[in-house]
Structure 1
Amino acid sequence: MNWEFDSLYDYEDDVFELENQQDLSYFRVFHASPNARKVDILANNVVIAENLDYKEFTQYVSAYPGRYSIKVFQAGLRRNPLIDAEINTTPRGIYTLAIAGREEDISLLTIPETEIRAQPRMLHLRFCHLSPNTPRVDIKTNEGRVLFRNVGFKEFTEYLTLDPGNYDLEVYIASTNRRILSIPNIRLRRNRRYTIYAVGLRGRHQDTPLEVVISLDGGSYL
């Protein structure tokens, strides 16, 4: 279920005459800060999520295209926001807003879903690096095919078109044979868009270890 917030945008009644729902924009928030506590999220001072925990997504918010103030607070508080940022959305634009970095260096990363030419019976996959202490990485299949190369923190790739099926993927330090994470048996279905997010902290004895979160992106169904 998508939420519509006319109150998110300050406008006169006759400014926006939307012909259909396709003129709306959509955004959601992903909590990817490994040491930040649960958070509340406000868009133009409207609460869109409460108690969002690490590795959780909000639902997509449908809203009029334009500029929005996004504030992220520690859950239950409304003073001293962890993040106070602005985003700009376009008609039919779809965005994931990632709460990225450690709490002491936290920020909001806007990740748009780029327009792609759909290929029947295929799928589209991309990668986003949100692990603060992990260096640049390559993503390969277990057969050695490089899917994404040299991706750094807070960077994301374009979508890659693949055949549907089960994949065993591996994360390597970029340009080396040093594997730091295995992602076995990922089932990816046709006619869908996915993003693989690397989150957490690399190294032993971490409360939030390096791992991935795989999301179905809004372009699959919005």
Structure 2
Amino acid sequence: MADSISLNKFLSSTGICSRREADRWIEAGRVTINGRVAIKGNRVEPGQIVRLDGKPVGARPAPVYLAFHKPAGVTSTTDPKDPDNIIDFINYPERIFPIGRLDKASTGLILLTNDGDVVNEILRAENAHEKEYIVTVDRPVTPDFLQRMSRGVPILQVRTKPCTVERIGRRSFRIILTQGLNRQIRRMCGYFGYTVLTLKRVRIMHIELGTLPVGKYRRIDFPLAPADAPDR
């Protein structure tokens, strides 16, 4: 039908996820249309009932934007089958999902929302939003290591983009990336024979982790400017 809409776009338009996350939910069999398990490529027509995990997906809720200090051991996933998933850990009263990912062993700033449009804006590679990390490694950081890291490293069949890398301690450094390859910093360090011991994200764009305690969140406002809401 001319007025139908792709299922992943429908889910994203309700504000509960990005299109990418919607595709994962569909592939996992968590989405139904009129009681039938959906598949990628399905379209939604007016009057059809879409459910996620058995619950109806309705009108777009009021937008929620959170900055969260993720502890080590928490997984950046909405999958309820993962006992360490970030959603159960936060236990926010409304349905939200993480914007991007942070390794389970890593700590620091991660954003969560119910606004799928914002997710697409932040994760779109061409926007090159900065993400800043503090990293400790298993041996002394040398000038040669810093220089070669900053020039780009061949990992995952690509060369990473040039980035800012600054030594802040004998075995620690600060790195600012504008891309988000899988386990990028750990792979970059591994290429030069270094093992990452701790990795903490302290900034995404202009949003800083600051003094937010581990395991707590604070609300931020669109367009993702810090709000005056208290920490939780």
Give the structure-1-normalised TM-score.
0.28
Higher relative contact order (CA 8 A, sep 6+): 2
Give the greater-gyration-radius structure (CA): 2
Higher helix share: 2
